[in-house]
């Protein structure tokens, strides 16, 4: 999703319809993703002035608290939104996402509440998939991610989630085709391209992996994991000069990566190394 283009579209809509409430809960979440506290605060205040009993206003306030890491207050606001409109699936889903890092079971309950209200609310299917993935319940995770894809088939993030689960249960070919489709749908989505590069490395398709990683490096030059993986692949194809230069860059970007750099240098050239090297 192009967040900046979406923001411009919402700004245009608000100029044309300043008293519009419809979809403003989505706009508030967009501002949360863009880390825009001033704009989010202004939007929340305006929505509250338009209708203090609207779920959109309380979701916007909840998103503002969430952005400020005030989790309890955010959950209170999302609950208030469901009191204002018990059919507001989005408020339950945001409650689930707000809870997911602290209490997976509670998050599951919130996402299930969202689906009881609206069975086609793909965000809640995605949320449940994420919960089950964290619980290492791969079959349940895959089922819920696939349900989300059924509703929103052209969403690269959702396809990437299915690909990630399929890869974890050992079907690399199926995962590869899912990542291929996700990259085709959203060429600038860094996460799905990165996951595809990792699969290509595992399959020893090094030149294709280099192409993906160079693309990522051009768009995110400060991402140390990408630089590190690129150094790793160049080493695997025998290009020690490029590998050494990139390892030096990775070390400068992220000094804490020194341990995994040493580990890579101790790994034989024909080994792909630990697949978890890019974590941390």
- Give the residue carrying structure tokens 């299917």: 125
Domain hosting 22: range is: 1-85
More confident residue, 193 or 250: 193
Q: Is residue 77 domain-resident?
A: yes
In a domain, 81, yes or no: yes
Domain boundary among 32, 54, 85: 85
Q: Which residues contact 154 (CB under 8 A, 6 or more apart)?
A: 185
b vs e for 92-124, b when ≥16 Cβ sit within 10 Å of the residue's Cβ?
Answer: bbbbbbbbbeeebeebbbbbebbbebbeebbbb
Residues 255-272 have pLDDT tens digits of 776 767 667 766 655 544
Angle between helices 156-168 and 122-134 in degrees, nearest 10? 30
Return d(Cα 32, Cα 25) in angstroms, integer: 11
pLDDT 10s digits, 167-195: 999 999 999 999 999 999 999 999 999 99
* Signed CA dihedral, 65, 66, 71, 77: sign only: positive
Number of C-alpha atoms within 13 angstroms, CB side, residue 213? 25
Which pLDDT score is estimated for 144? 98
Number of domains in the chain: 2
Residues in the chain: 280
Residue 222 has pLDDT above 90, yes or no: no
Query: Is 11 within the bounds of a domain?
Result: yes
- pLDDT of 277 above 80: no
Q: What is the pTM of this model?
A: 0.85
Query: Per residue in 123-164, pLDDT tens?
Result: 999 999 999 999 999 999 999 999 999 999 999 999 999 999
Burial status of residue 12 (CB atoms within 10 A of its CB: 0-12, 13-18, 19 or more): exposed
Residues contacting 70, CB < 8 A, separation 6+: none
- Give the rounded distance of the alpha carbon of 116 from its chain centre: 24
Looking at 70, 85, 100, the residue that finishes a domain is: 85
89 Cβ contact partners less than 8 Å away, ≥ 6 residues apart: 114, 115, 117, 118, 121, 124
Residue 14 falls within a domain, yes or no? yes
* Position 261 in a domain: yes
Task: Return the HEC string of 47-58.
Answer: HHHHCCCCHHHH
Measure Cα distances from 277 to 7, 54, 198, 273 in Å.
36, 47, 11, 8
**CA 13 to CA 92: how far, in whole Å?**
26
Alpha-carbon distance 170 to 94, whole Å? 32
pLDDT tens across 68-99, in order? 999 999 999 999 999 999 999 999 999 999 99
Of 42, 61, 85, the last residue of a domain is 85
C-alpha of 66 from chain center: 17
Binning pLDDT at 50, 70 and 90, where does residue 4 land?
confident
Classify residue 107: in a domain, yes or no: no
% of the chain beyond a pLDDT of 90: 80
Kindly report the CATH number assigned to the domain that includes residue 65. Answer: 1.25.40.10
Query: Is the pLDDT confidence value at 44 over 80?
Result: yes
DSSP state of 158: H
């Amino acid at each position: 999703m192009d967040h900046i283009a979406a923001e411009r579209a919402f700004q245009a809509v608000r100029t044309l319809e300043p008293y519009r409430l419809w979809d403003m809960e989505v706009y508030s979440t967009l501002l949360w993703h863009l880390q825009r506290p001033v704009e989010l605060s202004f939007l929340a205040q305006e929505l509250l002035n338009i209708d203090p009993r609207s779920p959109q206003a309380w979701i916007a306030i909840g998103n503002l608290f969430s952005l400020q890491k005030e989790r309890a207050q955010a959950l209170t606001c999302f609950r208030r939104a469901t009191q204002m409109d018990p059919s507001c699936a989005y408020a339950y889903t945001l409650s689930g996402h707000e809870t997911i890092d602290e209490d997976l079971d509670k998050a599951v309950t919130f996402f299930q509440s969202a689906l009881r209200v609206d069975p086609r609310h793909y965000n809640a299917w995605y949320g449940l998939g994420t919960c089950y993935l964290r619980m290492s319940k791969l079959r349940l995770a895959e089922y819920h991610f696939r349900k989300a894809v059924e509703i929103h088939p052209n969403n690269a993030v959702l396809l990437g989630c299915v690909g990630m689960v399929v890869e974890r249960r050992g079907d690399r070919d199926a995962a590869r085709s899912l990542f291929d489709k996700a990259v085709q749908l959203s060429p600038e989505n860094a996460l799905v391209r990165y996951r595809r590069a990792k699969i290509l490395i595992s399959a020893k398709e090094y030149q294709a992996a280099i192409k993906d990683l160079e693309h990522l490096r051009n768009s995110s030059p400060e991402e140390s994991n990408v630089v590190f993986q690129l150094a790793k692949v160049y080493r695997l194809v025998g290009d020690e000069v490029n590998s050494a230069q990139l390892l030096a860059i990775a070390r400068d970007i992220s000094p804490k990566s020194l341990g995994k750099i040493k580990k890579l240098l101790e790994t034989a050239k024909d080994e792909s190394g630990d697949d978890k090297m890019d974590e941390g």
